[in-house]
Structure formats: structure tokens, C-alpha cells
Structure 1
């Protein structure tokens, strides 16, 4: 199922490149939104979008801007949900389906404190609970944003960039093997 979603999204962006920043926003928003991030293969799609950048079909800057805005919006909304509903939200569906996920998130905060928010952008399972845990733990919004903003910007850049670099490597290997220029 995820493979068909990834293929559809990649084909859509390749055909409708003007929608790429909007798609990047939505993917990053869903990836950082509590609960939903477990259901949408956003990171994989953004990496695939990076291969379109390598092929020259898209520009990186609009993708980065869209993904950055989406990541900031989704993570801040997750933080607000944690703040509004407190620790009880961590025992609600779908978090209660995998209590170890919440425990790993709490352990990350116990170990790293506020920087866990920054680190969580780069670890899929932690990303789905970290922002809501930050809000539920009464972290101040300013402290949250001081680590969330650079984490969102870095993740939004590095995720499609990894696909772009991979696409460039594959292209270089293909040209070397096929004798093309």
C-alpha cells in the first residue's frame, strides 16, 4: 500500500511540478503531526521528490520552503495538542497501541531534555511522539521553538537533499556504465 502511495505522489509531482511546494508542506505537516505521522510515508516521498530535483524536474528551494513550513506547523500543532490535553493524550489511541513508543519518547526527554525535540526530527518513531510529549510536559513554547525551528529547517532540507544526492550518484554511475555524458 505504501509503495503505491509513494509512486502516486512522485508521479503527481513529476507531472504537476507547480504543486510540489504544496505537497512538500502537506507531507512535512503530516510527518510531524502526532498520530498521523505513523500512517503517511512522508519521509520516503520527500526523498523520492529529491530524486526529481537531481533530474532537474524540480528546484530545491521551493521544496525546502514548503517542507519547512509544514514541519513547523505540524510539530507546533502537536506541541499544542500535548499542552491542551496533557499526559492523558499519550494514553489515547493510537499511542496506546504501542506504549513502548511513548516510553522511548519519555526516555529521550529524560536523557537529553529540550534538545530531544531537535533530535526527534531525524528519528521517525520518536518524531511521532516527541512534540506532543514536549507540550504535555509543560515545556515553554519559546524553549520548544528554539530547538524546533532549527530541527524543522534541517530535516526539511536534508530529507529531500538525500534523495537528490542519491539521484545524482545513480545518474553518475549510469553515465559511467553506459558511456553517456
Structure 2
């Protein structure tokens, strides 16, 4: 994983024009059901954000790419949950935990779209929240509105956190005389 992160950040550092596309691809991966577990997208988006602090890339293409990628990935996950939810829930590892499935459905009945918004900001939830929204048959227009807002906020906060951390570490580095 570390090699992928380092290679990707080195590529973006050398090819700033690709920052939009790199952010888009990794944001799709970060928001696809279960795929996000194996791709270090958050670390890459934080790292790309840190490159903003060094002046090597601009923030706007990162934010735009991550927003569009998050929308694409989360909508694919929602559609998979809507279309294949019952089939997915019948697979052995999932079917053995019917109580967790019911808790997920109850969360959507109780919190609705707010569960989607919150899911954007909690890594373990992001892997399944959009899939569960489709399975729970969360109203599509409501999902669209809250998800686009959540995607834009997540795509702003994640690399911005990396940028701010980059500024802080740079300041500390200079303060220590390195």
C-alpha cells in the first residue's frame, strides 16, 4: 500500500496537470462499495492535498476531481444496492449477520439521508453506506441531493486537511531549522 501511495504522489508531483484525474479515480475507488477497503484513497487524497501546501498543485482541480469521483462511486454503490440488494444479502458471510442488516435498515429508516451524509466522513461506513442506502430503498431524489452535498464536502475536507497538515509540518520543519 505504501508503495502505491508514494508512487501516486510522486506522479502527481511530477505531473500536476493529472491532479484532477488522479483525484477523480481515487475518489471513485474510495466511494465504491467494498472496493474502498483495499484502495488507500484517503491517504492519497490527503497526500495530494499536502502537495497544495508546497505549491506543486492547485487545490481546485483536486476538489473538482474528488467531488465528481465521489459522486460517481457513491451512485454506482447505491445502484448496486438498489438492483442487487436482496441477492447480496443472501450471500453467506452477510446472511449470517441478519441482525446487522436489520440494524443498517433501521438506521436508514431513522436517520434517512443524514446517514448518507455522515457516512461520507467515517471510513468504515463509507465502504457500505451507499450500498445500504440502495438496499434500504432510500428515496432517489433525496439521496441525490444529500449525496452530492456530502460528496462536495468530503472532497473539500479530505484534501484540505492534507493541505493544512502540509502547512503545519512545513512551518515546524522551518522552525526547527531544517
Q: TM-score if structure 2 supplies the norm length?
A: 0.90
Distance 1:97 1:31 in 2: 25
Distance 2:21 2:148 in 1: 19
C-alpha change, 1:24 and 1:55, in structure 2 (3 Å) is same
Partner of 1:70: 69
C-alpha change, 1:9 and 1:160, in structure 2 (3 Å) is same
The 5 A counterparts of 1:25-40 are 25-40=24-39
Partner of 1:153: 152
Q: How far does residue 110 in structure 1 lie from its aligned partner after superposition?
A: 4.8
Q: What's the secondary structure of 2:176's corresponding residue? A: helix
C-alpha change, 1:24 and 1:177, in structure 2 (3 Å) is same
Distance 2:148 2:25 in 1: 17
Partner of 1:133: 132
Distance 2:172 2:37 in 1: 34
Conservation of the 8 A alpha-carbon contact between 2:120 and 2:150: yes
Q: Which one is further off, 108-117 or 79-88?
A: 108-117
Partner of 1:165: 164
5+ residue gaps in structure 2? none
C-alpha change, 1:104 and 1:42, in structure 2 (3 Å) is farther
Number of residue pairs the alignment of both structures matches: 177
Distance 1:47 1:97 in 2: 35
Conservation of the 8 A alpha-carbon contact between 2:46 and 2:159: yes
Distance 2:19 2:96 in 1: 33
Conservation of the 8 A alpha-carbon contact between 1:101 and 1:126: no
Q: How far does residue 36 in structure 1 lie from its aligned partner after superposition?
A: 0.9
Conservation of the 8 A alpha-carbon contact between 2:75 and 2:130: yes
Conservation of the 8 A alpha-carbon contact between 1:102 and 1:129: no
Q: How far does residue 109 in structure 1 lie from its aligned partner after superposition?
A: 2.6
- Say if 2:73 is the partner of 1:60: no
Q: TM-score if structure 1 supplies the norm length?
A: 0.89
Q: What's the secondary structure of 1:47's corresponding residue? A: helix
Conservation of the 8 A alpha-carbon contact between 1:105 and 1:126: no
Q: How far does residue 165 in structure 1 lie from its aligned partner after superposition?
A: 0.2
